[in-house]
Amino acid sequence: MNLVDTFSEFKAGKNIDRPTMVRVLEDVFRTLIRKKFGSDENFDVIVNTTKGDLELWRVREIVPDGEVTDDRSQISISEAFSIDEDYEIGEECYEQLHLEDFGRRAIMAARQTLISRIMELEKDEIYRQYNERVGDIIVGEVHQILKREILIVDDATNNELILPRNEMIKGDYFRKGDMVKGVIRKVEMKNNNPVVIVSRTDSIFLEKLMEAEVPEIEDGLINIKKIVRIPGERAKVAVESYDDRIDPVGACVGMKGSRIHGIVRELKNENIDIVNYTANTSLFIQRALTPAKVSNIDLDNEKSRAAVYLKPDQVSLAIGKGGTNIKLASRLTGFEIDVFRENDEIEIDDVDLDEFSDEVADWVIDALKAIGCDTARSVLSLSKEELLRRTDLEDETIDEIVSILAAEFEEEEK
C-alpha cells in the first residue's frame, strides 16, 4: 500500500526521464494533499528519484497563541513547540507529514493514479522512441504467430512489435523463437497503445541492408537515388558515386558478389539489379531494362512514354517473368515503357498477323499492330498481363488470340 514502494517498483526498467518522473510524482502527492487540506500552497514535496523515496513537509508561519487567523498558513507558537522546542515566533515551522496521515482509502486511490500515470508515460515514451527510429532496422525474436501477423520482441528493448503478413516477403516462413530482421515502417496509437509496425517489403529495408553491407554508402561516397521492388522476386536500385574513382555498381555488388549475396539471401533470393544512375533519360532507361540489350529508344517526354526496340531474343529479357522487369524499369525511370521487336528481324518461321484475318477480327489485329506486334511470334513473346495493359483488349479476347496463334506453330511442329 506504500506509495514509495509503488514508485520504486514502477520506476525500475522504465525509460522515463527523471524530470518527467519527478513532475508526475509531485502531481500525485499534491493531489493527495489538496484532498485532505483543501490546498497545497504551503506544502513542499521533495522527490528523491535515486533512492526511490520522498518527503512531504507542511510549512506555516509561527504566530503568538490566539492570533492564528488562517490555519493553512499559520501555526501557534505552542503547537510549534510540540514539533520542535527551538522554534520562535516569526519563523517558518516545518512539519513532516507521513502517508499514514492521509488514510488508507486516499493512499489506495493515489497509488492507482500513480500506476496509471506511469503506464501512460511509458506508452508515450515507447511511441516517441520508435517514431524517431522509423526507417531503422531492428532484429527481434518471434514471440507469437497469429493469422494476420507475427508478434516479435525487439532484441534491444524487449518491446513487442508487429510484423503483418502483408509486410512479409513471399517465401518468408518463421517459427516461434526465430530471429527476424525488418525495418520500422510506422508507429501508430491504437486504443491509447503504441503499435510498432515492422516491414520486410518496404524499399527502405533494402536500402538499410545495403547501407550495412556497403561502407561507401554509409560514408556518403555512394548515393542510392531510388529503389523499386517486387518483394521476393526482383528489385532495381539506381546508384551514383560522388567520387569518380569509385564504381558505384561494383562497390555495391562487391568482389564476386560478396556484398550483394548476403542481402539476396535475407530477401529470399530476390533478384537485385544495381544500375548506374544518369540524368540522360535514354541511357537510364537502357540501364533500367538490364539484363536486356536495347537497340533503339523513342522518347515522348511530354507523356513520359518510351518506345523501346530490341532484337527478338532480347524481348523476353526486357519484359521479364510475369512482366516484372519492365514494370520495375518503368517505376525506376518514371516512364511508361513499351517494348517492340525490331521490324527487320522477323523470323523465317514467323507468320504475319494478316494471315489470321479469317479467325481474328480486323480491329483486334489493328489493336495488336498498334503496339508493334505485326507477327504471331511477336504477340506470343509478350505475357498476357502485358498484352492486356498495352492493348486494352478483353481478357477472353487475349486468351482466344493466344490460343489461335499458338495452335499455328503447334501444327507446324507436328
Q: Looking at the structure, do residues 156 and 244 belong to the same domain, yes or no?
A: no
Q: Looking at the structure, do residues 233 and 351 belong to the same domain, yes or no?
A: no
Domain that holds residue 243: 204-343
pLDDT at 121: 81
Rounded mean pLDDT, 127-134? 92
Q: Looking at the structure, do residues 325 and 212 belong to the same domain, yes or no?
A: yes
Measured CA distances, 33 to 37, 42, 95, 101 (Å): 6, 10, 14, 10
**What is the average pLDDT score of the chain?**
86
- Alpha carbons within 13 A on the beta-carbon side of 224: 23
Q: Which CATH number does the domain housing residue 45 bear?
A: 3.30.1480
208 has pLDDT over 80 = yes
Query: What whole-number distance in Å separates Cα of residue 405 and Cα of residue 414?
Result: 15
Query: What whole-number distance in Å separates Cα of residue 31 and Cα of residue 3?
Result: 13
Handedness of CA 355, 360, 361, 362 (dihedral sign): negative
Q: Which of 327, 343, 359 is the last residue of a domain?
A: 343
Q: Which CATH number does the domain housing residue 169 bear?
A: 2.40.50.140
Is residue 382 a contact partner of residue 372, using CB atoms and an 8 Å limit? no
Q: Looking at the structure, do residues 290 and 402 belong to the same domain, yes or no?
A: no
Nearest to 183 by CA among 265, 256, 266: 266
pLDDT at 16: 63
Strands (E), 49-133: 53-63, 74-76, 92-97
DSSP 352: B
pLDDT at 412: 53
Q: Looking at the structure, do residues 336 and 212 belong to the same domain, yes or no?
A: yes
Query: What whole-number distance in Å separates Cα of residue 88 and Cα of residue 62?
Result: 7
pLDDT at 286: 93
Q: Which of 89, 114, 129 is the last residue of a domain?
A: 129
Q: Looking at the structure, do residues 124 and 141 belong to the same domain, yes or no?
A: no
Torsion of CA 192, 131, 8, 156, to 10 degrees: 120
pLDDT at 345: 46
Strands of the sheet containing 305-310, edge to edge, are: 296-300, 305-310, 336-341
Q: Looking at the structure, do residues 191 and 278 belong to the same domain, yes or no?
A: no
Q: Looking at the structure, do residues 331 and 212 belong to the same domain, yes or no?
A: yes
pLDDT tens, residue by residue, 302-358: 888 998 988 888 888 888 887 889 999 999 999 999 888 776 444 446 777 888 888
Q: Looking at the structure, do residues 170 and 49 belong to the same domain, yes or no?
A: no
pLDDT tens, residue by residue, 225-244: 999 999 999 999 999 998 88
pLDDT at 250: 92
pLDDT tens, residue by residue, 241-300: 988 889 999 999 988 888 999 999 999 999 999 999 999 999 999 999 988 888 889 888
For the chain, the domain total comes to: 4
Q: Looking at the structure, do residues 183 and 290 belong to the same domain, yes or no?
A: no
pLDDT at 108: 83
Residue 234: CB atoms within 10 A of its CB come to 19
Measured CA distances, 371 to 11, 183, 307, 374, 393 (Å): 69, 41, 9, 9, 12
pLDDT at 390: 81
Q: Looking at the structure, do residues 42 and 168 belong to the same domain, yes or no?
A: no
Q: Which CATH number does the domain housing residue 297 bear?
A: 3.30.300.20
pLDDT at 1: 39
Q: Looking at the structure, do residues 182 and 295 belong to the same domain, yes or no?
A: no
Q: Which tops the pLDDT comparison, 234 or 378? A: 234
What percent of the chain stands above pLDDT 90? 38
